[in-house]
A = this chain, B = another copy of it.
């Protein structure tokens, strides 16, 4: 199975309203509710691609129960979340019906006590021996040490399990130094990590900091991949319109599934770009349009980048 780690799981709510006007009252016309957090999103896409996937991380309170109830209904997905005393956070996407513009409100997440963090480490160590790959995704809830991902990367490598890290800020900086197999920063995360806003230079710098491979997601410009086997740029056929929520998580699922299927790098990148664009096109945030995915797979351009591998 593929293991995804979401330390800060979420109950993702989508509110449709006419138009957000600060300091007034709004009637929500439609409420959407689904389990979230980056690793949970990655797991859902992997399951939809036919992979067996196990979700771990933390869940607590009524919101955590709502997350678990909904995960239980997803075929191919196993819930190995660790219970905590605090409540799983909510995230709220407030969508203006008139324009489709979205305003995001994110709760910080529960305080994780040291014994809860210890219980998670035990669960993670139990799961690693049967994992074909692991993805470490998203922000850290309060109470989890900032070097957490570095430790989880090292544990995966000690078990010989390929590990992908998708986070930002100081947890990314520390995690990279532990030499993960792959990181997938977006342009902002890459610039924050390296201090450079120039993608080629920043991607090269991220490799130097310890990542074995770097796939930078550059929005409409697709993916830029620096790996030990070569350097590529993969771009969608045209600018894709829609809701970009979850597009990065779908790219991670594409890369991870390609890794465990031992696809050549250009095929992994094609899959990641096609899944990502098909997610932007789907009407519901974070879902992907299966028809668009099939269609886009034949139309992603992968070109080699100059420079030694």
Contacts and interface: CB of A to CB of B under 8 A. Distances in A.
A28 B106 CA distance: 6
A104 interface: yes
B22 A108 contact: no
Contacts of A262: none
A105 interface: yes
A103 B23 contact: yes
Interface string A92-124: 101010000111111110000000000000000
Contacts of A65: 62
B28 A103 contact: no
A148 interface: no
B103 A15 contact: no
Contacts of A94: 105
A28 B62 contact: no
A108 B29 CA distance: 7
A107 B20 contact: no
B63 A31 contact: no
Interface in A77-101: 90, 92, 94, 96, 101
Interface in A1-50: 13, 15, 17, 20-29, 31
A304 B23 CA distance: 37
A292 interface: no
A22 to B, nearest CB: 5
A282 interface: no
A104 B23 CA distance: 7
A285 interface: no
A26 B103 contact: yes
Nearest to A20: B22
A127 interface: no
Nearest to A101: B23
A218 interface: no
Contact of A27 (B21, B26, B31, B106): B106
B31 A107 contact: yes
Q: Which of A15, A20, A22, A90 has the most CB of B within 10 A?
A: A22
A191 interface: no
Contacts of A301: none
27 contacts: A13-B90, A20-B22, A20-B23, A21-B22, A21-B103, A22-B22, A22-B96, A22-B101, A23-B96, A23-B102, A23-B103, A24-B104, A25-B103, A26-B105, A26-B106, A27-B106, A28-B105, A28-B106, A28-B107, A29-B108, A31-B107, A31-B108, A62-B62, A62-B65, A62-B66, A92-B92, A92-B105
Interface of A: 13, 15, 17, 20-29, 31, 62-63, 65-66, 90, 92, 94, 96, 101-108
Given A22-B103, A27-B108, 5 more contacts: A23-B101, A24-B103, A24-B104, A92-B92, A94-B105
